[in-house]
């Protein structure tokens, strides 16, 4: 019975006659033995019959809890269909209703009341974790403070690590640092699963994070820690505090940056220009915007631009308008992109004034790329680059159909949420998500395979170049700036190799250098089968 209840070992109705005898399963299962493919098909029939994406999320989550191998087989073989159900956009709604749909705990919940015993708690985890995704739930996607309900994000991210890059599920550990929530709706929600108190802050918050980091490294030596969906005021500070000392990264800052940069490289294959000659205008000035801006500036400098020239080509617009030097009270991450310019209060006027070649939306303001914005970009550029990267879908700056229609099919478009192909004037455009799942799984695989002591910006730059290189001519011709999602394991393997090469080149790797790095990386990848 214990075997049937362990999702890492359970095969359900696929246990063979011999296994049923050898493992004491005779009588616990119906007589007919199904193949794994039979099980996959049955799962899909049931899944496709459900009336809503949230119910499909719950069904997949239940499968994940019963049978890991079958869950990942379903995901890997149907990635286009399943990824939007287990991650964006459906995971946003799942997090909002997490207390209501909660069935079985996954990962670990560490609360503010657990100070002084976090190492003891982590020692209870029964598996050898190599990768932790941790959140405090303060900025879940574009949905704000969801507190402990944000646990859906680390769970979803780690599912993608296993599906997209073959990190063995046994080696993954999602963690929620439950420090309370300032979301009044949740504090009054009878089904809220977290601490019912206002958020911890200041020294008490920092001490809890410090204790967690120390305990994680002590319990799981060499573990890679990914910060996920922390609010801006914590995200930048924690990344800068730990990044040069231990094996950590922030996907919202660095992963988003790499996938956006790869999209720019792909777009430039159409326009024919150099990155160093572009002018990029961001809607948003948080961790995603400045993370992308930082990597874009580094890439421009790699092409020969001075830092000053690269910075002059990179502009931010936040809720108060264009980020300029004369504005008081700018936070550190905005200061680098605060230029000498008269204040401008709205995005459209900033666009008409600065005449960018690319606009990148990461502010989670739904519909912000209005028809007027898109038409203005088209008046300035023969092939305007338009990235509407906010998610979930309700927070997208524009849809794919809007982007193509209001630019006369001239937009080079990438999105943060999935959209169906768009038919316009006899041509079919296939938009693809600038989704971090193209980047972070391969980065994690490369760091783990090489035993890298740090995850560096150079690794994310290498990942961006690799991803852009893997976009083929057919992709470009149909308007796709990223590879087809079913190629994601191939993409992740190539990115892992590029990341590992940086680790070996910079003396950061602790694993011996293999003769054939690609073969070694592929040998490390988990394949879901019985």
Confidence of residue 468 (pLDDT cuts 50, 70, 90): very high
Catalytic residue positions?
Answer: 87, 157
pLDDT score for 142: 87
pLDDT score for 139: 96
Instruction: Locate 99 and state its tokens.
Output: 């207390």
pLDDT tens digits, 364-387: 999 999 999 999 999 999 999 999
Tally Cβ neighbours within 10 Å of residue 439. Answer: 30
Judge if the upstream peptide bond of residue 89 is cis by omega within 30 degrees of 0: yes
End-to-end CA distance of the chain: 18
pLDDT score for 129: 98
Which residue, 255, 207, 205, is CA-closest to 229?
255
Q: What is the mean pLDDT of residues 169-175?
A: 98
Do residues 490 and 164 make contact, with C-beta atoms less than 8 angstroms apart? Answer: no
Pairing of strands 321-322, 358-361: unpaired
Report yes or no on whether pTM surpasses 0.85.
yes
Residues 6, 232: Cα–Cα separation, whole Å? 38
Residues 72, 77: Cα–Cα separation, whole Å? 8
Would residue 48 be called left, alpha or beta, if left means φ above 0 and alpha means ψ between -120 and 50 degrees? alpha
Q: Residue 11 above 90 pLDDT? A: yes
Q: What percent of the chain has pLDDT over 70?
A: 100
What secondary structure letter does DSSP report for 265? Answer: H
Confidence of residue 333 (pLDDT cuts 50, 70, 90): confident
pLDDT score for 295: 97
Q: What is the mean pLDDT of residues 220-234?
A: 97
Q: What is the mean pLDDT of residues 165-179?
A: 98
Q: Residue 289 above 90 pLDDT? A: yes
Residues 6+ apart with CB under 8 A from 501: 462, 517
pLDDT tens digits, 174-201: 999 999 999 999 999 999 999 999 999 9
Residues 118, 215: Cα–Cα separation, whole Å? 6
Confidence of residue 225 (pLDDT cuts 50, 70, 90): very high
Residues 308, 130: Cα–Cα separation, whole Å? 40
pLDDT tens digits, 240-276: 999 999 999 999 999 999 999 999 999 999 999 999 9
Query: 269-305 as b/e, with b when 16 or more CB fall inside 10 Å?
Result: eebeeebbebebbbbbbbbbbbbbbbbbbbbbeeeeb
Q: What is the mean pLDDT of residues 138-166?
A: 97
Q: What is the mean pLDDT of residues 107-127?
A: 97
Mean of the per-residue pLDDT values for the chain? Answer: 97
pLDDT score for 332: 86
Phi, psi of 508, deg, nearest 5: -95, -15
pLDDT score for 76: 98
pLDDT score for 239: 97
pLDDT tens digits, 291-316: 999 999 999 999 999 999 999 999 99
């Amino acid at each position: 019975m214990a075997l049937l209840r362990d999702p890492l070992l359970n095969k359900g109705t696929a246990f063979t006659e011999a296994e049923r005898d050898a493992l004491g399963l005779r009588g616990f299962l119906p007589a007919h033995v199904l193949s794994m493919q039979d099980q996959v098909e049955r799962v899909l029939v049931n899944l496709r019959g459900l009336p809503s994406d949230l119910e499909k999320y719950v069904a997949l989550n239940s499968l994940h809890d019963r049978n890991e191998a079958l869950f990942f087989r379903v995901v890997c073989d149907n990635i286009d269909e399943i990824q939007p159900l287990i991650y964006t956009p459906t995971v946003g709604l799942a997090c909002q209703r997490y207390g209501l749909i909660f069935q079985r705990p996954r990962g670990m919940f560490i609360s503010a009341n657990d100070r002084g015993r976090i190492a003891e708690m982590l020692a209870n985890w029964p598996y050898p974790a190599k990768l932790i995704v941790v959140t405090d739930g303060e900025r879940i996607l574009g949905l704000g403070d969801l507190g402990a309900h944000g646990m859906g994000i680390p769970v979803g991210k780690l599912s993608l690590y296993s599906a997209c890059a073959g990190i063995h599920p046994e080696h993954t550990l999602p963690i929620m640092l439950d420090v309370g929530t300032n979301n009044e709706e949740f504090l009054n929600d009878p089904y809220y699963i977290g601490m019912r108190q206002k958020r911890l802050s200041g020294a008490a918050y920092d001490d809890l994070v410090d204790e967690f980091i120390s305990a994680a490294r002590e319990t799981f030596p060499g573990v890679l820690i990914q910060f996920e969906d922390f609010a801006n005021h914590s995200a930048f500070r924690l990344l800068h505090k730990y990044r040069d000392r231990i094996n950590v990264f922030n996907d919202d800052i660095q992963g988003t940056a790499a996938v956006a940069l790869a999209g720019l490289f792909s777009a430039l294959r159409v326009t024919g220009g150099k990155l160093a000659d572009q002018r990029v205008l961001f809607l948003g000035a948080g961790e995603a915007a400045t993370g992308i801006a930082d990597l874009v500036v580094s890439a421009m400098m790699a092409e020969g631009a001075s830092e000053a020239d690269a910075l002059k080509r990179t502009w931010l617009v936040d809720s108060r308008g264009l980020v300029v030097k004369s504005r008081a009270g700018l936070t550190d991450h905005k200061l680098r992109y605060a230029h000498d310019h008269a204040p401008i209060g709205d995005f459209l006027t900033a666009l008409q004034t600065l005449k960018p070649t690319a606009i990148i939306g990461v502010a989670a303001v739904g519909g912000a790329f209005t028809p007027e914005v898109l038409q203005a970009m088209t008046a300035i550029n023969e092939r305007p680059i338009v990235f509407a990267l906010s998610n979930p879908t309700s927070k997208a700056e524009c849809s794919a159909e809007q982007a193509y229609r209001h630019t006369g099919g001239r937009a080079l478009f990438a999105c943060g949420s999935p959209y169906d192909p768009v038919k316009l004037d006899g041509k079919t455009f296939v938009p693809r998500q600038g989704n971090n799942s193209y980047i972070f799984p391969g980065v994690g695989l490369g760091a783990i395979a090489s035993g890298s002591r740090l995850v560096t910006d150079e690794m994310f730059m290498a990942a961006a170049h690799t991803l852009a290189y893997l976009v083929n001519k057919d992709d470009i011709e149909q308007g796709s700036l990223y590879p087809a999602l079913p190629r994601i394991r191939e993409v992740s393997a190539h990115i892992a190799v590029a990341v590992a090469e940086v680790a070996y080149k910079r003396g950061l790797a602790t694993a011996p250098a293999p003769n054939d790095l690609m073969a070694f990386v592929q040998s490390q990848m988990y394949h879901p089968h019985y």
